[in-house]
Amino acid sequence: MRTHQGSAGARVLAFGGYQPARVVTNDELAASVETSDEWIRSRVGIASRRLAGPDETVADMAVAAAGKALAGSGLSPADIDLVIVATCTPEVMIPNTAAIVARRLGIGAPGAYDLNAACAGFCYALAAANDAVRAGSARHVLVIGAEKLSQWVDWTDRSTCIIFADGAGAAVVGPAEAEEPEAGIGPVVWGSDGDMADKICIKDRNSFIFQEGQAVFRWATTALHPIAKQACAEAGVDPTELAVFVPHQANLRIIEALARKIGAPQAKVASDIVTAGNTSSASIPLALSRMIERGELGSGDKALLIGFGAGVCYAAQVITLP
Ligand code: UT7
């Protein structure tokens, strides 16, 4: 059992991402379902996506991403006392993925739980980590978003099989210095609308992912920008101060519509979907880790994150990049 003092603030210390090796192009999909590279690029913005191998699990991908984040943080496994895995595609329901991932990374006896807020999962988990560090129930938290959506997709359904993909992203969260509590993770603005529960769902254990694309598209492009703006206001950050906007990578047209509406013309906009597809809870940390790796973002940059998806659930916060 661990107890900590609590902290004035919490911050992300490092990000890490993992993409499975197999690249699947639009042309490859067009060979088995009636679609085209042109349709997919123009309607969704995806050029290619990555799919996990048949034996590659959600835990495998989570371990790979989290191992990178841990190495980048300079911490050792013994420093981590809470592991949260955001996933809506766990290999099995019992045991949870987090405890398996913790064990494989050599993290001894941490708190460990899975969290399902679908594509909003990473932002929900980051908020939970922020609260845990501030309250003192944990000091260093490993936050992971990992998905193997390919195992829940009907590969004969062209409306979904062109969208969803596999991958993982992770962040290490720790205390912020007392004199810079605002330098870390800002307040979360989150919510849900169960009236839309049937718009994206897996109806039962013999079903695949279903979504009413147009209804979700309308919701995402009309209801979410006020949430994103509110997250900026709660963090005391004007949108014009943002270095980057990282929405869930659901559809490039949604990403661009949201970006236009938040009033941050100077901010870079994550468009990882082009080569990663929609990886649900992994999409935000994966996009961020890849932008950081490419040198497109710097330490101290302000990033606005917003996750949204099945439930429907959504969550947004402003963070300062490590
Ligand atoms: O990550 C969780 C959150 N999810 C989202 O945010 C998803 C939001 N929704 C979307 O991104 C879009 O609605 C989709 C990408 C899912 C679909 O794009 P759309 O522009 O809304 O297309 P649609 O569903 O209105 O379909 C238009 C037409 C239909 O044909 P008809 O009825 O007009 O003849 C579809 O049958 O396109 C057809 N279609 C396709 N054609 C070629 C649907 N899928 C395909 C396809 N290739 N893959």
Length of the chain: 322
- What is the rounded CA–CA span in Å between residue 51 and residue 29? 12
DSSP string, 24-91: EEHHHHHTTSS--HHHHHHHT--SEEEE--TT--HHHHHHHHHHHHHHHHT--GGG--EEEEE-SS-S
Average pLDDT rounded to a whole number, residues 279-307 = 97
What is the model's pLDDT at position 235?
Answer: 94
Give the domains, in start order, of the chain with CATH numbers: 10-175 (3.40.47.10), 189-320 (3.40.47.10)
Give 171's strand partners: 15, 143
Average pLDDT rounded to a whole number, residues 212-231 = 97
Mean residue pLDDT of the chain comes to 96
Does residue 3 carry a pLDDT above 70?
no
- For residue 109, give the DSSP letter: S
What is the model's pLDDT at position 243?
Answer: 98
Among the options 232, 248, 251, 313, which is catalytic? 248
**Centroid of ligand 1 to alpha carbon of 45 (angstroms):** 12
248 tagged catalytic: yes
- Of 39, 43, 278, the one to substitute when testing ligand 1's pocket (max ligand atoms within 8 A of C-beta) is 43
Among the options 119, 161, 232, 313, which is catalytic? 119
What is the model's pLDDT at position 82?
Answer: 98
4 or 197, which is more confident?
197
**Centroid of ligand 1 to alpha carbon of 309 (angstroms):** 16
Centre a 10 Å sphere on the Cβ of residue 116 and count the other Cβ atoms it contains: 17
**Residue ID of nearest Cα to ligand 1 atom 4:** 250
Q: Are strands 166-176 and 9-18 parallel, antiparallel or unpaired?
A: antiparallel
Task: Report the atom number in ligand 1 closest to the C-alpha of 160.
Answer: 16
Q: Measured between alpha carbons, how far apart are the two ends of the chain, in Å?
A: 29
Q: Do 119 and 307 form a contact (C-beta atoms < 8 A)?
A: yes
Please, is 156 exposed, middle or buried when counting C-beta atoms within 10 Å of its C-beta (0-12, 13-18, 19+)?
Answer: exposed
Does residue 321 carry a pLDDT above 90?
yes
Sheet holding 302-309, edge to edge: 189-192, 313-320, 302-309, 244-247, 268-269
Please, is 105 exposed, middle or buried when counting C-beta atoms within 10 Å of its C-beta (0-12, 13-18, 19+)?
Answer: middle
For 34-81, what is each residue's pLDDT tens digit? 999 999 999 999 999 999 999 999 999 999 999 999 999 999 999 999
| pLDDT interval class at 6 (50, 70, 90) | confident
140 tagged catalytic: no
**Centroid of ligand 1 to alpha carbon of 321 (angstroms):** 34
For 78-118, what is each residue's pLDDT tens digit? 999 999 999 999 999 999 999 999 999 999 999 999 999 99
Does residue 182 carry a pLDDT above 90?
no
- What is the rounded CA–CA span in Å between residue 99 and residue 96? 6
For 253-290, what is each residue's pLDDT tens digit? 999 999 999 999 999 999 999 999 999 999 999 999 99
**Residue ID of nearest Cα to ligand 1 atom 47:** 35
For the chain, percent of residues with pLDDT exceeding 90: 95
Among the options 26, 96, 130, 278, which is catalytic? 278
CA neighbor of 122 nearest in space, from 166, 171, 183: 171
Q: Are strands 302-309 and 244-247 parallel, antiparallel or unpaired?
A: parallel
Q: Do 287 and 15 form a contact (C-beta atoms < 8 A)?
A: no
Give residue for tokens 């190495």: 71
**Centroid of ligand 1 to alpha carbon of 218 (angstroms):** 12
For 113-158, what is each residue's pLDDT tens digit? 999 999 999 999 999 999 999 999 999 999 999 999 999 999 999 9
Does residue 1 carry a pLDDT above 50?
no
| pLDDT interval class at 244 (50, 70, 90) | very high
4 tagged catalytic: no
| pLDDT interval class at 2 (50, 70, 90) | low
pTM metric for this prediction: 0.97
